Structure 1
Amino acid sequence: MIRIITESTEQTERLGKLIGSLLNSGDIICLDGDLGAGKTTLTKSIVKGLGVDEYVTSPTFTIVNEYEGKVHVNHFDVYRISDVDEMYDIGYDEYMDSESVNIIEWSSIIKEILPEDRIEINIERLEKDNKRKFNINSIGERYKDLVEELKKYEDTSNRKFL
């Protein structure tokens, strides 16, 4: 696991664009953190890093929004899911088996059905301002290179993401 600290919304957006630029077809990003931690801000930036020019909104009530960029992107917000069976009702298996990049906000709610290979990002608010800590973990072998690339930006000796 690596840890990256951002001190502003702009730094968080740069981190998201960097992550997006490193993703490939079929990649799965799982985001967790408290309300207001920055999951949607990070998602919007990841999607921009994937070349999407559309306005990105959180699909809180629709569960999934789809976007076209250098690859197809599915953006899930499962905050309102009460049972994992609801995910299967919207075609969850087809989404996960596709060549799309899948970004899942509140992924811990559906942890039992998440694919074995994924990137997990837990976001914490550190202070009242826009300072955030991103704990990034590669689950499975698929994302080791991506996480290695992000290690260049890891918070060591109080070095912050630029």
Structure 2
Amino acid sequence: MITIVTNNEEETIKFAKKLTTYLKPGMTLLLEGDLGAGKTTFTKGIGEGLDVGRIIKSPTYTIVREYPNGKIPLYHVDLYRLTENEVPDLGLDEYFEGDGISVVEWPSVAPEDLPNNHLEIELKREDENPEKRVITLEAVGKEYEEVLEHFQND
């Protein structure tokens, strides 16, 4: 487990961008945090790191946004507006087993429909400083443990 503190949106984006150096096609990142915690901002950093060449927007209403033109395709999923019963019909396995990086916001909506192996990322706002974020990364699975190991050693 790794915990990082960022002081503003720029630092959060920079941190996420650096993380992409260690990601491989087929990996899944699960982003947890309250509304406004920075999940989409974090995903912007992933997008920058993958050179998607487009503005990353929250997929709250579209559920999935695809960014296929980067170094590795990025699939940004937001389960916030769904119930657990609606998620199986989305066909998310195609993204999780595909050639891209999948970033899932609000994974707690449907934990049974997500990959067993993944990187859990929790973002929390600091009460004293609303710009500050405490970001905790926890690996589930050997491949993800290696990502955190390489990240820490850099």
Scaled by the length of structure 1, what TM-score is found? 0.88
Q: Which aligned pairs between 1:12-161 and structure 2 lie closer than 5 A?
A: 12-68=12-68, 69-83=70-84, 85-127=85-127, 128-152=129-153
Percent identity over the alignment?
39
Kept in 1, the 8 Å contact 2:88–2:113? The answer is no
Question: CA separation in 2, counterparts of 1:2 and 1:35?
Answer: 22
CA contact (8 A) 2:87 2:113 kept: no
Secondary structure of the structure 2 residue equivalent to 1:143: helix
Q: Which runs of 5+ in 2 are unaligned?
A: none
Pair 1:5-2:28 in alignment: no
- Alpha-carbon distance between aligned partners in 1 of 2:152 and 2:73, rounded to the nearest angstrom: 26
Aligned mates of 1:149, 1:42 — CA distance in 2: 20
Counterparts of 1:118 and 1:77 in 2: how far apart (Å)? 16
The residue type equivalent to 1:6 in the other structure is T
Which digits, 9 at most, give the CA deviation of each residue in 1:24-58, with x for residues without a partner?
Answer: 11010000001111000001111111111111101
Is residue 33–residue 39 contact of structure 2 (8 Å, CA) maintained in 1?
yes
Render the CA deviation track for 1:97-143: whole Å, top value 9, x for unaligned: 21211000111111122211100001110133311101100001111
Give distance in 2, aligned partners of 1:123 and 1:150: 18
Q: How many residues align?
A: 152
Which is worse superposed, 127-136 or 117-126? 127-136
In 1: Cα distance, 2:20 partner to 2:87 partner: 24
One-letter code aligned to 2:86: E
2:143 partner SS = coil
- 1: distance between equivalents of 2:21 and 2:50? 6
**C-alpha distance in 1, partners of 2:67/2:51?**
10
Measure how far apart 1:93 and its partner are: 1.8
User: What is the TM-score with the length of structure 2 in the denominator?
Assistant: 0.92
Go from structure 1 to structure 2 and tell me whether the alpha carbon gap of 1:152 and 1:126 turns closer, same or farther (over 3 Å shift).
farther
Give CA-to-partner distance per residue, 1:64-110, whole Å, 9 cap, x none.
00002011111001001112x42222211222221211000111111
Which ranges of 4 or more aligned residues in structure 1 deviate by more than 6 Å?
none
Secondary structure of the residue aligned to 2:30 is strand
* CA RMSD, 1 decimal: 1.4
